[in-house]
Structure 1
Amino acid sequence: MVAARTEARFGTEFMRRHWRRVLLAFVGVLLPLWGFGELAEDLRAGEVFFFDAPLLQFAHALAGDGWNAFFVRVSALGYLYGVIPVDVVLVLALAWRQKLREGLFAGFAIIGSVLLNLGAKQLFARQRPSLWESIAPESSFSFPSGHAMGSMTLACVLVLLAWRTRWRWPVLAVTSIFVALVGFSRIYLGVHYPSDILAGWTAAITWTAAIYLLVFPAGRRPWQQP
């Protein structure tokens, strides 16, 4: 509890001094995401990118009992039963270790990513694909993918924190495979267009990089002593 309060005070002070830059980063990600969405004419009316339907059909052609079970599990790990618990544990562990700047970076990147995703979904109100009946249906809006955005945000946070350590290549390899599997699982299950996945990845990378540059300005890097 003490560590969490210390992290919260550090974050509050950071926001007091840098809220304009954080807001600018938020808008700076939302605007390109809006532009990406506008590439599909009349997105609200259900228009899709040229590559969406062929990739969905390709994924569906692989369908089978073994793959069904595998990708349902991967999809679950990509959000509620994997990414979210790791997000929480990561931020709390950094706070407990008194790594306030690292914890602030992870917390802002993760929470901001969630808010961006929720805002964009409501803005576009894109309906889910309906090429076939999914074995794991979803009822929320489709664009951008929350699974893709959340898994990529966590991956970017871990890679950036590990980049100047001996763990950077193992972390990069494992997170890259995980992110790719989560993204493909959503296409395989027929609950996202490939463009939803691409948009989620793009927004996550841009947002996380922006927060990293704010929290670790020139001359600073993770794990340095204050």
Structure 2
Amino acid sequence: MPYLLLGVGFFLFIFSILMLAIPSLNLFDWVMIEWLGQHRTLSLNRIFIALSTIGGMPFVLFLTTIWCLHQAWYKKYTNVIFISLGLIGSIATVWLLKYVISRPRPPEMYHLVQSYGASFPSAHSIYAAALGCLAIYLSQKHPQHTLICICAFVWLFIMGISRVYLGVHFPSDVLAGWSIGFIWITLLYLLYVKFSRAKTN
């Protein structure tokens, strides 16, 4: 699983960069923004606006804090460090790339929610991917691991789609967000495994 996610992450990141650089692929970004903008409904608007709040940094930090406290209660301090570094690294990476690339967001006429910072990559998407990957890796011995994996991928997929639907991100922003989440958390997990093995030997 780790090397599969790492491979998918690198593929999506390269593809998202190509979408920025190649006009024919960049056109797909605009087509999707316009198409989703024309197929909005009041019910979907409410659902995706709610998801925007849940997937934002304040709630993600709150959720992660609760998760870390739960792990600390059971004296799983290595997990606490893994989760904390995973989220902090994701936040730092996404905002650094936003500053460096400085891609403008889609026109405000498409926006259904307020947004901050540049467009590429999507912060909501990287947070969702990071939390999803953390849940997948830390639940490998859980009896419901398969269900947790399914829920994690459904969550990050819906969160990514919501950002395009709400008109604040292009599809390539979302792909980049997912890819960074996959790559960062997987690399961190491989170090985590190496450290755990060294500790037990």
What is the TM-score normalised by the length of structure 1?
0.75
Given that residues 20 and 172 in structure 2 are in contact (C-alpha distance below 8 angstroms), is that contact kept between their aligned partners in structure 1?
no
Structure 1: which 5+ residue stretches go unaligned?
A: 1-28
Shift of 1:106: 1.0
Moved over 3 A (4+): 32-39
1:110 aligns with 2:87: yes
SS of equivalent residue, structure 1 residue 217: helix
Shift of 1:83: 2.6
- Taking structure 1 as reference, are residues 216 and 69 closer, same or farther at Cα in structure 2, changes over 3 Å only? same
1:217 aligns with 2:194: yes
1:192 aligns with 2:164: no
Other-structure match for 1:160: 137
1:116-158 deviations in Å (ceiling 9; x for gaps): 0111110101111117341213131111000000011001000
**Paired letter, 1:59:** L
1:101 to 46, 65, 78: 78
Q: Give the number of the structure whose residues are more often helix, by fraction.
A: 2
Distance 1:87 1:76 in 2: 15
Distance 2:177 2:120 in 1: 8
Distance 1:173 1:202 in 2: 18
SS of equivalent residue, structure 1 residue 94: helix
- Taking structure 1 as reference, are residues 110 and 81 closer, same or farther at Cα in structure 2, changes over 3 Å only? closer
- Taking structure 1 as reference, are residues 128 and 194 closer, same or farther at Cα in structure 2, changes over 3 Å only? same
Distance 1:93 1:225 in 2: 23
2:20 to 29, 40, 46: 40
Other-structure match for 2:112: 135
- Number of residues of Structure 1 aligned to a counterpart in Structure 2: 192
Q: Give the structure, 1 or 2, with the largest relative contact order (CA under 8 Å, sep 6 or more).
A: 2
Shift of 1:73: 0.4
Shift of 1:33: 5.5
Other-structure match for 1:202: 179
1:119 aligns with 2:119: no
Percent sequence identity is 25
Distance 2:178 2:133 in 1: 10
Alpha carbon RMSD of aligned pairs, Å? 3.0
2:41 to 64, 85, 101: 64
Shift of 1:84: 2.6
1:130-187 deviations in Å (ceiling 9; x for gaps): 1734121313111100000001100100011012221211211212221111111110
Distance 2:18 2:41 in 1: 35
